[in-house]
Amino acid sequence: MSQDWVARSLKSVWHPCTQMQHHETVPLIPVSHGRGVWLYDHDGKRYFDAISSWWVNLFGHANPRINAALKDQLDMLEHAMLAGFTHEPVIQLSEQLSDMTGNVLGHAFYASDGASAVEIALKMSFHAWRNGGQADKQEFVCLEGSYHGETIGALAVTDVALFKDAYGPLLRAARTVSSPDARNAREGETAQDVARRAAADVERLFEERAGKIAAIIIEPLVQCATGMAMHDPLYLKLVRELCDRHQVHMIVDEIAVGCGRTGTFFACEQAAIWPDFLCLSKGISGGYLPLSLVLTRDEVYQAFYSTDVRRGFLHSHSYTGNPLACRAALATLAIFREDDVLNRNRTRAERLSAALAPLASHERVKNFRQRGMIWAFDAVEPDAARASTFSRRFFASALDNELLLRPIGRTVYLMPPYVLSDDDIDGLAARTRTVFESVITA
Ligand SMILES: Cc1ncc(COP(=O)(O)O)c(C=O)c1O
């Protein structure tokens, strides 16, 4: 059964972020259904979804409460355009999210994928300055090792050569500042020292050309896509101060790290700051439907409010604010409230960290790190040829051990759903150790 689906898929589906030729050797798994932390193929083989299907799934596959909310919504309203119309799910979601920021970020603008939210934040920032008479503020600043998505605008503020180089001529250059990645600590330095050093880099740039800069965009606390680079919250506090002092917008991209992933609902809560724009996607719909949004301050909203249509934000997507996606998000937020998820995740995280301790101290592991519900470590693989195939070998071995784990280069990471039982946690740690040992010694 499975093999038939694989053959048909390879003939007709162009898979994302994939050199399709690799599927001559790398397995393609046809998923039949999912339940909780498990995905099942057509032959009944199961895989522990330890990366939450690209970091989107929060409360397991086929979650009964999100399913029920969606079934109810299906019979009410599947979709209606959001220009000139509005509906309960989008209103309630906007109100709840604004409340969760203490109403500092008072308006929500919707799209579908993460990259679209990034495009919106960049356009809004530029346009808000322009409406305020500062049309020269046109530049964007991003961090070394940043990742904000694959559309042309988002790719321009992404610092991953592999994704970016082929499209170089199409992209508007952004300014790149050093990453506060705690792994950059020099002898005797703490993570906070690295944060201060990286913030000083931002300060130098702002002093030189803040008059030309619209915004700095940051993945707060964890730069996920380029290898789970973690930094101290102090960095966000310092950049917030610099943005205030130099009149530069702060965009935080919480597409990967929002929705409780770092331990607080929003990552920036750990720095006690709010940005001017906050991008959210992935987990907000519980991993059910494409939904993204940008929360922004009322000052920004007011900069567009006018009798002149051209001063408005004339951006749209057909499925903006889709009621089904918003309803899935409301069900997701209800689970956070009703199940005390953030507190229970602290207990889960302690148990998983303890279970992973033998890996943390393994001689072929360095930089073991954890924040909230993210764990990562870098494999030591001195042989260059083996290092270059580490990720693919690990993925294949993980599948053999009923595990869905896809390292980024030599960085192995876990980003499991928030429904782990004690048995799930112990099993996940044991499988990860088995796979690591087999890949490192094979
Ligand atoms: C921080 C961050 N921003 C933006 C994106 C892009 O989101 P999407 O893939 O939904 O376009 C991602 C995706 O991984 C991400 O991690």
- Asked whether 202 lines ligand 1 (CB < 6 A), one says no
Determine whether the annotation assigns residue 32 to a binding site: no
The Å distance, Cα 368 to ligand 1 centre, comes to 24
**Is-contact 206 213, C-beta < 8 A?**
yes
Alpha-carbon torsion (263, 265, 270, 275), positive or negative: positive
Mean pLDDT of 176-191: 97
Tokens of 120: 């919106």
The Å distance, Cα 442 to ligand 1 centre, comes to 34
Return the amino acid letter for 328: A
C-alpha to C-alpha distance for 383 and 212, rounded to whole angstroms? 45
pLDDT at position 20 over 90? yes
The Å distance, Cα 146 to ligand 1 centre, comes to 11
| Residue among 18, 147, 160 to mutate when testing ligand 1 (max atoms within 8 A of CB) | 147
pLDDT tens per residue across span 243-273: 999 999 999 999 999 999 999 999 999 999 9
Mean pLDDT of 344-362: 98
Mean pLDDT of 406-435: 98
Determine whether the annotation assigns residue 285 to a binding site: no
User: How far from the centroid of its chain's Cα atoms is residue 174's Cα?
Assistant: 20
The Å distance, Cα 117 to ligand 1 centre, comes to 9
Determine whether the annotation assigns residue 54 to a binding site: yes
Mean pLDDT of 119-132: 98
pLDDT at position 134 over 90? yes
Mean pLDDT of 97-114: 98
Q: Whose CA is nearest to atom 4 of ligand 1?
A: 148
**pTM to 2 decimals?**
0.98
Determine whether the annotation assigns residue 318 to a binding site: yes
Model pLDDT, residue 26: 87
Which atom of ligand 1 has the smallest separation from the CA of 55?
14
Mean pLDDT of 360-364: 97
The Å distance, Cα 171 to ligand 1 centre, comes to 18
pLDDT tens per residue across span 142-171: 999 999 999 999 999 999 999 999 999 999
| Residue among 56, 57, 122, 148 to mutate when testing ligand 1 (max atoms within 8 A of CB) | 148
DSSP annotation of 150: S
Tokens of 373: 């519900």
The average confidence (pLDDT) of the chain is: 97
Model pLDDT, residue 442: 83
Percent of the chain at pLDDT exceeding 90 = 98
Model pLDDT, residue 231: 98
pLDDT at position 182 over 90? yes
Q: Whose CA is nearest to atom 13 of ligand 1?
A: 149
C-alpha to C-alpha distance for 130 and 417, rounded to whole angstroms? 42
Model pLDDT, residue 2: 85
Longest dimension (CA), the chain: 68
C-alpha to C-alpha distance for 251 and 231, rounded to whole angstroms? 17
Which atom of ligand 1 has the smallest separation from the CA of 118?
4
Percent of the chain at pLDDT exceeding 70 = 100
- Asked whether 286 lines ligand 1 (CB < 6 A), one says no
Instruction: Using pLDDT thresholds of 50, 70 and 90, give the confidence band for residue 394.
Output: very high
The Å distance, Cα 184 to ligand 1 centre, comes to 24
User: How far from the centroid of its chain's Cα atoms is residue 435's Cα?
Assistant: 25
